[in-house]
Amino acid sequence: MTDDRFSTHNLQLGDEIVTKRYTSWERGEPHREWAALTLLAEHVPGLAPTPVRAELDVCPPMIVMSRLPGCVLRGEHVTEEQIRAMADALNRLHQEVPACVVEKIEPAAWRPAIAVNKVRAWAEKQPDLGEDPLVRQALQAGAAWLASAAPDKLTKNPLPPVLGLADGNHANYLWDRDKRKVRLIDWEDSGRSDRAFELGEVAEHISRIDGTLDAERLLSCIDLTPQETDRVWEFRRLSALGWFLMLGPDGPATPHNPVGALERQAERVLYLLG
């Protein structure tokens, strides 16, 4: 892992290993990450760093893992080859961990019911998003969708759960130029999750505005049933709207994103709510 521009943790990079010391662990982040890395090493080797050792109950908690070569895809123009590699990585993650194993995993820290409640709570605060007509139109459309029954339908998963990263940040996707593969890093929020939710998060995470990722093309490379396709679209709406509501002048997402992000996100919300 050669690029930690977007990390919120203290990373010590060695030639072959990475030592990760956590700056927060209220959600059980070290235990979640260690559990995920251990499972992946057994069932999907090569997809994520290999766990070496952990000190989970010290202060701060610490994990040692293998160092993976490559660069993160956040802030990059993601090519067709990289999109296919992302899709391959996601398919492996969601298909190669046995269902009987997934059922025993703790639920992910960020999951549909929590996301629906969070986005509705942000909307109820009526954040100041300014007077731009497009922004106001997106806000009205988003409020109407949140008031409908559609978000509630997302809180129950009719399909088998998967092991999920529970974080769509494109900085979690590491491109290995030599082996032409994408690997996944930063598993601190991971757990049992809804596949459609995971894909919606990847497609609409706010990190998309830092570079160029064709979400439609990515999803076309993933084998989805019609039911999954519909749920992914609804989760994309939820994710995009959540980020939009946090991009006001005093919003928590504003300091980390470029000028014009709010207007661009308004366009995205209107496109998805179509």
Q: What is the pLDDT of residues 39-66, one digit of tens each?
A: 999 999 999 999 999 999 999 999 999 9
CA triple 44-49-38, angle to 5 deg: 60
Compute the distance between CA of residue 78 and CA of residue 216 in angstroms, rounded to an integer.
Answer: 13
Q: Is residue 9 assigned to a domain?
A: no
- Decide the pairing of beta strands 71-72 and 10-13: unpaired
Q: Is residue 61 assigned to a domain?
A: no
Q: Is residue 174 assigned to a domain?
A: yes
Report the CATH number that the domain containing residue 220 is assigned in CATH: 3.90.1200.10
Question: Which pTM was predicted?
Answer: 0.93
Which residue range is the domain that position 269 belongs to? Answer: 70-273
pLDDT, position 5: 43
Number of H helices, E strands in the chain: 10, 9
Structure confidence by residue, pLDDT tens digits, 150-191:
999 999 999 999 999 999 999 999 999 999 999 999 999 999
Sheet holding 10-13, edge to edge: 10-13, 17-21, 62-66, 51-55
CA triple 253-170-184, angle to 5 deg: 135
Q: Is residue 4 assigned to a domain?
A: no
Structure confidence by residue, pLDDT tens digits, 3-13:
444 455 789 99
Binning pLDDT at 50, 70 and 90, where does residue 267 land? very high
Report whether pLDDT(197) > 80: yes
The neighbour count for residue 39, using CB atoms within 10 Å, is 21
The number of distinct structural domains making up the chain is 1
pLDDT, position 249: 78
E strand or H helix at 182 = strand 181-184
Q: Is residue 131 assigned to a domain?
A: yes
Binning pLDDT at 50, 70 and 90, where does residue 17 land? very high
Q: Is residue 139 assigned to a domain?
A: yes
